Amino acid sequence: MAALVLASASPRRLELLTRVGVEVEVLPAAIDETPQLAERPSACALRLASEKAAATAGRAPGRWVLAADTVVEVDGIMLGKPDDSASAAAMLAQLSGRTHRVVTGYAIRGPDGTSTARAVTTEVDFRELAGDEIDGYVASGEWRGKAGGYAAQGIAAAFVSAVRGSFTNVIGLPLAEVLIDLERTGAVRADLARGVPA
């Protein structure tokens, strides 16, 4: 049994953690991810991560739980996951030639119910996108299930002209910060967090 439970179905988060040697068991949380009225991006991401951690902890008593939620914000407007191809195209058009922010909130919940939470923000610049580029990207389907309607680690890497802050945050988990907190809280041993066999 893995020491850490990941309260997320995101294959990107799972890959990031396993790549650095953190063994996890995936047990996604199903919660309402609707932002609250006038909720700021960081507050929304932190609240949702904490709710996911609490929901999964109830199904995995006595275990360490890591949960995360990522939102994209531009001009004070939060962009969630597109519902369909039209909303994906609209989001990409909104991001074209602009700087936006990717905010990931994460929560680490201990076996005793104590919790550590943090929000990490990364600024991302998109170059100007032509209409046929947006249409082609939407047709690829890569946008499905992605906050802001794109995957920076995939085809959409061609749209990104600059990143300020954690790149893994844009993928869905600020790995450096998460590992620091996992070690500090005792959720994983330092040697495991660095991918070194115990």
CATH number where 17 lies? 3.90.950.10
Query: Is 133 a member of any domain?
Result: yes
* Contact yes or no for 166/175 (Cβ under 8 A): yes
Given the residues 69, 75, 84, 135, the one annotated as active site:
69
User: Residue 77 pairs with which residues in a beta bridge?
Assistant: 74
Whether residue 195 has pLDDT greater than 70? no
Query: Is 118 a member of any domain?
Result: yes
**Rounded mean pLDDT, 69-96:** 94
pLDDT bracket for residue 80 (50, 70, 90): confident
* Contact yes or no for 72/94 (Cβ under 8 A): no
Whether residue 190 has pLDDT greater than 80? no
Respond yes or no: is residue 132 known to be catalytic.
no
pLDDT of residue 198: 38
Domain count, the chain: 1
Query: Domain limits at 91?
Result: 4-193
Mean pLDDT of the chain: 92
Query: Is 104 a member of any domain?
Result: yes
Query: Is 198 a member of any domain?
Result: no
- pTM flag (> 0.95): no
